[in-house]
A and B are shown apart, each in its own frame.
Chain A
Amino acid sequence: MNLPTLTSADFFPMLPAIIMVVGACILLLSEVFLSAHSSRGYQAVLTAITAVIAGVVALKMVFEPAREVFLGFGALDPFSSFLTFVVCVALALATLTSAGFLRKRGAERGEFYALMLFATAGMSLLAISNELITLFVNLEVLSISTYALTSFLRRGTRPSEAGFKYFILGAFSSAVLLYGAALLYGATGTTHLTGMVLPLANAVRTNPALVYTGALLVAAGFAFKVAAVPFHMWTPDVYEGAPTPVTALMSAGVKAAAFAALVRVFVTVGPGLDPQLPLTLFSTLALLTMVAGNLLAIPQRNVKRMLAYSSIAHAGYLLLGVAALFATAPGEAFSLLGSTSLGTTATPQAVARAEALRGILFYLLAYTVTAVGAFGVVSVLERREDEERGTAWDLERFSGLAQRRPGWAFAMAAFMLSLAGIPPTVGFLGKLLIFRSAVDAGLIGLTIIAVLSSAAGVYYYLRVVVYMYMRPVPEGAHALERNWMTEFALVVSTVAVVVLGIAPGPVTEWLVQAGHLLGR
């Protein structure tokens, strides 16, 4: 019989993940040789360097031609490579804000960074997973790492409660996803996404309920991971209770990876399904998520919680982009980023889809640099003593920040403007791309609702700016400790938010390339 063989080329797309796992193992091993009081400053630096190397490798891979690897278990394509780059950015920035955060709490440990690296490796592998079981395993690697990270600081009820809620609801959603995958396997006899298309087209005719329920359950599982309404309930509690750098990684990285997997599953399997199903499903989710997410954020005075709700709202905009992927009646062929990778014979659908993919990816990058930066500012302002009382993240903390730390205030203002989608920031460009692809895909009504809800969002983002710039410094405000690593991360994020918003430069080149998803 023919025995399948694996070559080094098959391992190539895993390279970023391998780099991160090696980094994690070095951290775990080095921890053995340290006493409780040893200096651990190198750990964050090492993690950040690992993330940067992995990110650079991922960027190089963006220009590799798309192909299946690992006997079809994995898919190397510019889409997944760009996504790996995004999660590496999230990891590097989140790590830099971790060092000072953990040191203040006396909890700096190699295990923390190792878990961050494991989680990110899981995200990277999730992006290339092209088979349901592989996908599930990687989802679990990433989920379990984040469960542990959430309750890493065991002290106090909030972290424990957050970890517990996340674990219970996360396990539930994983089970739902697995059940859906099993039903899809039952309908098609395979777990390979690419191999599923033909049998699915048959099964839709013979046993539609099995296919539909399977697809719905898988979608519900993903909806939980990306925090789409009504599967979002865990988000604010978990984001608030988790250590702030972990929240940053979750809001940016976990969301990006889950979106990547969701997009890959439904885009690949899509041709076998009724095209109306994903469109209806994701349009509905997008609608609910955008409206409810923004409304939930409005009454929040707790900035960390507000950012959690805001991340729900942003998941809604991303879902709008996902819905645009499945538009059946796109508008006139008006190409947003040029159709270089598509050739001249591309159908309007293909063009619209490539644009939506690029929009989603750029939005994820934009959200990553912005949100991680914003959580970075939150993390330098909070004090452990206030956490239990829940006042650590009150808006009051931001009063007069512009006078005390103009640099931080400027950075936070840039992040808030970017989250609100106001030019000249990267968030504006991201929104522009998503909205444009949605308009192009013919989702006019949904785009208008997106715009209206994001207009409501302006209120709670700019309130932070008002507090920083227009309120006096409160009496008895505690001293603000500086930390060079966190500040470095803030500088990087701010520069990225502003510069990418004015001149995206090479990023557009990568992006043009990354609109290519295998099996389209």
Chain B
Amino acid sequence: MPLGPLILSGFLAALAAPWLHRALPRRTSAAVSLFLLALFVSFARRLPDISSGTVSLARYGELPRLGFALDFRLDGLALLFALLITGIGTAVALYAGSYLHEHPGLGRFYFFFLAFMASMLGLVLADNLLALFLFWELTSLASYALIGFEHQRSTARKAALQSLLVTVAGGQALLVGLLLVGMMAGEGGFSLTTLDTRREVLHAHPLYLPALALVLLGAFTKSAQLPFHSWLLGAMEAPAPVSAYLHSATLVKAGVYLLLRLFPALGGTLAWEVTLVCVGGATMLWCGWLALVQEDLKRVLAQATLCVLGTLVLLVGLGTPASLRAALIFLVAHALYKGGLFLVAGNVDHEAGTRRVAALSGLGWRMPLTTTAALLAALAMAGIAPALGFIAKEGVYEAGLEHPARVTTALVLGFIPTVAVAGIAGVRPFLGPATRTPLEPHEAPVSMWLGPVALGILGVVLGLVPGALEPLLGDAVATVAPGVPRRPLELELWHGFTLALGLSAVSLAGGLAIYAAREPLRRLYARLPGARLPTGWGFSAVLEGLKKVADAQTRVLQDGYLRHYLLITWSVTLGLVGFTLLTKARWWLLPPGWGEVHFVEVVVATLVVLATIAAARAESRLAAVAALGVVGLGVALLFLFFGAPDLALTQSVVEALTVVVFALVLLRLPRYHPSRPPRPALLRDVLISLAGGGLMTGLVLLASAAPPHPHVSDYFVEHSVEAAHGHNIVNVILTDFRALDTLGETTVLAVAAVGVHAILKLRPRTEEEEP
């Protein structure tokens, strides 16, 4: 089947699953599992093609004008991820049907589970940056719905929201990062295939650093690197199959996938190496060691997952062929054992009723098959031969040994707690004396042990016959490091007595020592300041801080008082325009004699100013209106002095009418109680008023400095009879020359009339009916 229909079939299955579940509640999980198995087989059959160097490309739903194309490409890296997604999905789907047996939301679960699976496939198969982003966001949404699956619990809701906020916020950064990358790469730069060939252009581009930072932000949030790691711990609120699938094997690897995918185009620079090694290393060490102090079985595993994600990021950062190879092997090994361990944890929770590490012991004989799965996974996790985990770890150490000793030291220090965690989560609950648990533990049904056991056996079989992985991993490595000549990966259990083997022995011994000393260590940790901080405190603190800033801003900007709104609007306008005026004005251009005044003008101006002050200080509304009337008449007088009698007439008529209307309205208003604002506020208001007046004066002066235009009135005098056959020039202007404006003004008035009518005369009918 071509790639598009494969992905589409995932989404269609998601839509169909809830219906199927309603019709055949007992058969759905098997059906979903078989569907995923079919997908797995369909991908697996392409392996020979890929190995022979064929890359399948497919294009669907191209939007050429938007630069967006739903391009898919199946190469070695994509195939590796596709097999992980469908393979582990098969086990998890089978498991989920029993784990969530009789849960009312099981139909919903299948929908989001399959939608996530299809989005994840789309993400790893996408050959277009924007298509990749589309699926990237879809996986975030599906993950949100699955973490909040048991949304009756407020902790689940909170965790779901946190994961969504962190990943979507990172996604937004990623979007711009990808846009920048696409733009920098030039024509066709949104295609990943093209992008790989533009390495030099991208590296030399001045925007390389910002683009890289944004892309890395997206990858780090998704893969839960420090300081964004806490959402993954919260995500343990999800049901066990979700944790196994999304939060260990697939979703959180998406960030690592993106780094691997973009490595040929963006990687290999100093910035890339330093950032990834530092962030990955910090995550590995910090989260790895803190795994020891977690008390919840799933959280222990989540912390260990964080540690592995850090290691993977570090390895991609190192960027040598050996480290990329090691990263891929480690990724596969981790997906197998951690997926298995999460399912085991689900079994324990399901059958024993608790996930508290301290309360679990001696489950071994009562849950023999689950225990087998746990021990096999623990073997791989601790990196003990013959599990695949051993080969992976050797590869990691060998990659580290190519670099300065501090890298190797960090890797060993990061692996030591992982060994201890393997003991805590994979061995300890099953051995030793039996303890009382809330439920009487017994073996889980077949659908729930089959998956973990299969994953565990696979981990060992692949360790014994690592050659089976050779073609797949070889193809993936060839994708990530295209320039490197392809050579056998030499996956073998026994390499002879190498330095890496020595390091393995050191980390194993260290891990066992830490495992033995875990209780004292935990007590020591409890005494540290900050040990009691709840998970995700950083996120909560940021959110709270943001809310505080937002609250403060709302109080300042949005207090609901019209006068304050006016004050701010006025001040900004004044500041903006006043500043321009002061910096740009050329006062020397003012026409000569601009400052001359006549006696009459002074008198009228004084009158107007006095009337204005009176209006502002008036104790009654009527007095204020009367004073305003004086201002208006004064302006009319000024018009008269400057030879505009028609304007003066209009002004005085409008003024008179306004005063009358005002007075009529005032009659209907309640009594006015003048209140004097406090002195500072008064001073501020006066200053702003003065500034406003000053600004207006300046503007008028400036306008008079403009070069005089030919008098418009001359044109009208000349043409009014000839063109419009009218002798009253004002009328001709209104009804002929500027008739359109007049029409517009009339329209405004008409609309205003309809509006006023609507507000004043129309009462809601219910109001009329009420007495």
Contact = CB atoms under 8 A, between A and B. Distances in A.
Decide if A and B are genuine partners: yes
Interface of A: 1, 3, 28, 36-37, 70, 73, 105-107, 109, 111-112, 114-115, 118, 122, 133-134, 137-138, 140-141, 144-145, 147-149, 151-155, 163-165, 168-169, 172-173, 176, 179, 182-183, 186-187, 189, 203, 206-210, 212-213, 216-217, 220, 224, 229-231, 233-234, 236-237, 292, 295-299, 331-332, 334, 336-338, 417, 420-424, 428-429, 431-433, 435-436, 439-440, 444, 447-448, 451-452, 454-456, 458-459, 462-463, 466, 469-472, 502-504, 508, 511-512
Contact of B547 (A299, A424, A432): A299
A458 B165 contact: yes
Contacts of A155: 764, 767
Contacts of A503: 61, 63
Interface in B721-751: 722-723, 740-741, 744-745, 747-748, 751
B706 A187 contact: yes
Given A462-B161, A470-B151, A137 B741 contact: yes
Contacts of A472: 152
A134 B741 contact: yes
A207 B67 contact: no
A334 B707 contact: no
22 contacts: A111-B758, A148-B756, A149-B755, A154-B763, A182-B703, A212-B580, A217-B577, A233-B557, A236-B558, A295-B550, A334-B183, A337-B66, A338-B65, A424-B134, A432-B66, A436-B183, A439-B180, A451-B172, A454-B172, A462-B168, A469-B148, A502-B61
Contacts of A164: 562
Contacts of A456: 169, 546
A148 B758 CA distance: 7
Given A115-B751, A209-B581, A298-B550, A237 B702 contact: no
Chain B interface SS verdict (over half): helix
B666 interface: no
A386 to B, nearest CB: 16
B551 A424 contact: no
B703 A183 contact: yes
Given A118-B751, A220-B576, A337-B65, A3 B723 contact: yes
A208 B165 contact: no
Nearest to B766: A106
Interface string B559-573: 010101110111011
B745 A165 contact: no
B180 A455 contact: no
B675 to A, nearest CB: 19
B521 interface: no
Interface of B: 61, 63-68, 130, 133-134, 137-138, 141, 148, 151-152, 157, 160-161, 164-165, 168-169, 171-173, 175-176, 179-180, 182-183, 186-187, 189, 207, 210, 214, 543, 546-547, 549-551, 553-554, 557-558, 560, 562, 564-566, 568-570, 572-573, 576-577, 580-581, 584-586, 589, 699, 702-703, 705-707, 709, 719, 722-723, 740-741, 744-745, 747-748, 751-752, 754-759, 762-768
Given A137-B741, A137-B745, 14 more contacts: A109-B758, A140-B748, A141-B747, A141-B748, A164-B562, A169-B565, A210-B705, A220-B576, A292-B553, A334-B186, A423-B138, A439-B176, A444-B180, A448-B173
Contacts of B586: 207-209
A34 to B, nearest CB: 12
Contacts of B767: 106, 155
B401 to A, nearest CB: 39
Contacts, number: 279
Given A168-B562, A206-B589, A332-B186, A148 B754 contact: yes
> Most B CB atoms within 10 A — which of A141, A144, A472?
A144
> Most B CB atoms within 10 A — which of A28, A137, A512?
A137
Given A296-B557, A338-B64, A451 B547 contact: no
A28 B754 contact: yes
Contacts of B138: 423-424
> Most B CB atoms within 10 A — which of A182, A295, A336, A433?
A295
Given A237-B560, A508-B66, A458 B172 contact: yes
B115 to A, nearest CB: 12
B151 A451 contact: no
A447 B207 CA distance: 13
Nearest to B153: A470
> Most A CB atoms within 10 A — which of B152, B172, B756, B757?
B172
A224 B755 CA distance: 22
B175 A334 contact: no
B709 A292 contact: no
A138 B65 contact: no
A229 B568 CA distance: 11
A357 B584 CA distance: 31
A213 B577 contact: yes
Contacts of A107: 762, 764-765
A459 B169 CA distance: 9
Contacts of B763: 154
Contacts of A153: 764
Contact of A183 (B172, B562, B699): B699
A377 B612 CA distance: 50
A138 B747 CA distance: 9
A458 B546 CA distance: 13
A112 B707 contact: no
Nearest to A207: B706
Contact of A144 (B63, B705, B755): B755
A444 B171 CA distance: 17
A455 B699 contact: no
Contact of A216 (B63, B580, B747, B748): B580
Contacts of B562: 164-165, 168-169
Given A169-B565, A187-B706, A295 B549 contact: yes
B161 A466 contact: yes
